[in-house]
Structure 1
């Protein structure tokens, strides 16, 4: 029985040959557990709520049935996919472009940070699929002449819990009011919240719930560690660990934009190839930062939780929680950036004296105690003077670039190629010669 299940193909699930061929070209050899459960239901025109751990193939689980329905009943403005972040929207579009290439599917991204006029022109061409963040879609529904979704046949919410947790509830309500009642609706998320429960009761017709993981969990190939260190030594241990693991792909999650920028500047001063990603960067710079990390021009991505959901960067070796996430479920999403698509990965969480209680809630959620990440204290302490110097540099640069919160005026953005000088790559702290690479 197990062998039969393992041999199950996309064709066995009811997917047509054209889409099976597209899956093959994308390297999707066999359906994932969530795809096995959700696709047959969606093909029977059922509303679906899909719950599965992050990195488990949720995009394919809603994308394939949606495209198959579009092929059967071709129509412009056929489907709307709502996502919480811009990056996830572009990623979903990439997958739809790849899956629908042979059948001529048009897909448009509608997110903030990009000129509305250009988006209005693209919407005027009436694409088959719109991938949008709720806020910008509401702007177009209210202001773009002639644009409406009255004929829509499919609505998908990816990371549905996050959409509602990011204060999009008002926008989502506005969107749902202008959509036709006769439609198929699919909600997908790694976690289920009371807000998503509320949404399913209000807007889904006899939904079928598909749950691949009944409890909050991380993938089995992920090794998880913690490190209890004083708050003042966090940067020191971060540099020590990055130096030890060599030139591997690492995402470092920080709690705030301020912390992200300061840590990025400090690491760049030490010679690491670090680049930050945070919500207030312009869309071009956010995509630029992400692409540089994907193609390994930069080995360290410093990020706020804007990067914790849905981003598929297969080559991430390490995730480091520089700050413990305030919400336990966010931990699952952060560490889900590594150990994707069957690969292994390592997650390390720094816990300071101020974060013990929050961290204990994460252990409670996971139902396990994490091992302590092995470090040599004496080797880390050797770096103390260099780190203090780099922190002073970062503080001066942040002050000079006027990136402190609360300041009026337009904030300067960092970490694109035009600002290498700002990052201390050309000049280190005044009076010092240019350092050699910090790495061994």
Structure 2
């Protein structure tokens, strides 16, 4: 790139803030003006812009977009970026995979570039999970590569000391999960957000579903009143409405999401089978689609681990991903799946939203999703960016009512996936042997780790509860 195009950020100067000024900048409650009549932009009949330059993005950042293969803006980027460049607070409603990250990162980087002496802690991006935070951090570094932006990712599950050192270097942008950020604000000496100019809440509905509401309330008290706030969410629930009133000022709502809608390139089918044959049909499907990049969704941590062991014992390259793995194990699982060294990811809903897994051929719902919104997010892992994909849901006698509600919410009836029972039963002996092996392995895991607080201990269905009444795995929330 020619030197004339590569403008870098000037070194920041340490800015002193006395305690009185810091107190003046803190928001002591939901006092921000949030107009109930905030503007909503649903779309326009005008021809969409052809390039990011048409949206007002400067040349340096356009070059970064081009190097990353971002050829034309997505709908959420088209609608939100020009408004963000006009210094408006924004509520962006868009489904996962719609390009939300660039929609809020580019305006922050452009504002940072326009500063003569860029301040530290210029932007804060809040994410519900560690994986999503790490992914956003990569996007910030990639999009900001031409302007030498400094960023750091602050999440739970990792040593806090290196994070304190990283914050001591006064990065321009922080990407964080709520719990760990609050820990730093309360305990890390000298760390303040009084100079913050941009605050982003990504996947707001999921943050609130994971009961981060009280933590967010505390965090808002550490942020200055004079800031721009971008709130992005797949849905607009009553909880998100409350968060909007507490954190945004006269926002413009930009909506490009279509509730309960799946893309046309996604082929969806179901299999209606007896509960006792679930494992057998799963193995049959995995064998039918051998070599394809596949995500298998389960309802609990226990089943995620068990299914991964079962498939591995049958020679399939399966790896588990759930919220109770260590951070290094979770990132390792994602890395192996993305690099295709493992072609099957067995996961709880921790993998249903936000993660950037470019190419997934098949999604199998081993356990049906708990509601239509979760179903949409799960199957949305495949058929992304115009590619085709397939989703198969295993439905038993215990799932029928829930599955019918999902169909009703989507407004469509799915076709049954045709199978040959005799071909399925060929796997019976091998699957039963693999089931015994996986049960023994799970018992060892629970016995070995149970005394140290194993997350798998007690993950079986409660006694007396039917297979269709197993409780949702509530242990998948991030600890921040």
What TM-score results when the alignment is normalised by the length of structure 2?
A: 0.83
Distance (Å, rounded) in 1 between the aligned partners of 2:415 and 2:176: 40
Matches within 5 A, 1:100-179: 100-179=144-223
Please, what is the CA RMSD of the aligned residues? 1.7
Q: CA deviation at 1:404?
A: 9.1
Q: Secondary structure at the match of 1:12?
A: helix
Alignment match, 1:409: 452
Q: Which has the higher contact order (CA 8 A, sep 6+)?
A: 2
Check if 1:5 corresponds to 2:47.
Answer: yes
Alignment match, 1:67: 109
Distance (Å, rounded) in 2 between the aligned partners of 1:57 and 1:325: 24
2:83 to 21, 37, 41: 41
The number of residue pairs the alignment matches comes to 411
Distance (Å, rounded) in 2 between the aligned partners of 1:55 and 1:23: 16
Matches within 5 A, 1:70-89: 70-73=112-115, 74-89=118-133
Distance (Å, rounded) in 2 between the aligned partners of 1:85 and 1:200: 20
Residue 191 and residue 272 in structure 1: after superposition, are their counterparts in 2 closer, same or farther (change >3 A)? same
Matches within 5 A, 1:289-328: 289-328=333-372
Matches within 5 A, 1:225-374: 225-374=269-418
Q: Deviations over 1:137-189 (max 9, x none)?
A: 11111111111111111111111100010011111111111111111111112
Would the aligned equivalents of 2:295 and 2:347 in 1 still touch at CA under 8 Å?
Answer: yes
Would the aligned equivalents of 1:398 and 1:404 in 2 still touch at CA under 8 Å?
Answer: no
Q: CA deviation at 1:107?
A: 1.2
Query: What are the ranges of 5 or more consecutive residues in structure 2 without an aligned counterpart?
Result: 1-43, 457-480
2:67 to 1, 6, 25: 25
Alignment match, 1:191: 235
Alignment match, 1:91: 135
Q: CA deviation at 1:11?
A: 0.3
Distance (Å, rounded) in 1 between the aligned partners of 2:239 and 2:404: 24
Residue 239 and residue 404 in structure 1: after superposition, are their counterparts in 2 closer, same or farther (change >3 A)? farther
Alignment match, 2:99: 57
Residue 247 and residue 214 in structure 1: after superposition, are their counterparts in 2 closer, same or farther (change >3 A)? closer
Q: CA deviation at 1:250?
A: 0.4
Alignment match, 1:211: 255
Distance (Å, rounded) in 1 between the aligned partners of 2:230 and 2:196: 13
Distance (Å, rounded) in 2 between the aligned partners of 1:213 and 1:89: 22
Alignment match, 2:30: none
Query: What are the ranges of 5 or more consecutive residues in structure 1 without an aligned counterpart?
Result: 414-440
Q: Secondary structure at the match of 1:361?
A: helix
Q: CA deviation at 1:305?
A: 1.0
Q: CA deviation at 1:334?
A: 1.1
Would the aligned equivalents of 1:191 and 1:216 in 2 still touch at CA under 8 Å?
Answer: no
Alignment match, 2:442: 398
Would the aligned equivalents of 2:49 and 2:73 in 1 still touch at CA under 8 Å?
Answer: no
Alignment match, 1:426: none
Distance (Å, rounded) in 2 between the aligned partners of 1:72 and 1:401: 54
Distance (Å, rounded) in 2 between the aligned partners of 1:29 and 1:60: 12
Would the aligned equivalents of 2:308 and 2:318 in 1 still touch at CA under 8 Å?
Answer: yes
Q: CA deviation at 1:123?
A: 0.8
Q: CA deviation at 1:412?
A: 9.0
Would the aligned equivalents of 1:53 and 1:218 in 2 still touch at CA under 8 Å?
Answer: no
Which is worse superposed, 23-32 or 193-202? 193-202
Would the aligned equivalents of 2:299 and 2:367 in 1 still touch at CA under 8 Å?
Answer: yes
Q: CA deviation at 1:376?
A: 1.7
Q: Secondary structure at the match of 1:402?
A: helix
Would the aligned equivalents of 1:51 and 1:213 in 2 still touch at CA under 8 Å?
Answer: yes
Distance (Å, rounded) in 2 between the aligned partners of 1:6 and 1:183: 29
Q: Deviations over 1:51-106 (max 9, x none)?
A: 11221111111111111111112221011111111111111111111000110111
Distance (Å, rounded) in 1 between the aligned partners of 2:97 and 2:420: 33
Distance (Å, rounded) in 2 between the aligned partners of 1:92 and 1:107: 10
Q: CA deviation at 1:4?
A: 7.7
What TM-score results when the alignment is normalised by the length of structure 1?
A: 0.90
Q: CA deviation at 1:309?
A: 1.0
Q: Deviations over 1:215-264 (max 9, x none)?
A: 33122211111211222211111110111112010011111110000000
Would the aligned equivalents of 1:401 and 1:412 in 2 still touch at CA under 8 Å?
Answer: no
Distance (Å, rounded) in 2 between the aligned partners of 1:201 and 1:411: 40
